[in-house]
Amino acid sequence: MKIEELGLVEWNAEAYKSFIELLKSYSDEAYGKFNSKIIPDIGFSYSVRMPVLRKIAKQLEKNKDLESFYNFVSAGSSYEEKLLQGMLMPKMNFKSFSDMISSIDYYIKKINNWALCDCFVSNIQKLVEGSKEEFLAVIPKYIKSPEPWPARFALVTLNSYYTEEAYLDFIFDAIQALVNHEYYVNMGVAWLISTCYLVNKEKTKCFIQSGKMDDWCINKSIQKIVESLRVSKEEKEELKKQRRKKR
**Which whole number is the average pLDDT over 5-34?**
97
According to the CATH classification, is domain 116-247 in 1.10.10.60? no
**For residues 184-213, average pLDDT:** 96
Q: What is the pLDDT of residues 193-207, one digit of tens each?
A: 999 999 999 999 999
* pLDDT-derived band at 53, boundaries 50, 70, 90: very high
pTM, to two decimals: 0.94
Q: What is the pLDDT of residue 247?
A: 60
30: Cβ contacts below 8 Å, ≥ 6 apart: none
d(CA 101, CA 150): 13
Domain ranges of the chain: 1-93, 116-247
Say whether pLDDT at 218 is over 70: yes
Q: At what angle are helices 50-60 and 79-88 packed, to 10 degrees? A: 50
In three state form, how does the secondary structure of 57-102 look? HHHHCCCCCHHHHHHHHHCCCCHHHHHHHHHHHHHCCCCCHHHHHH
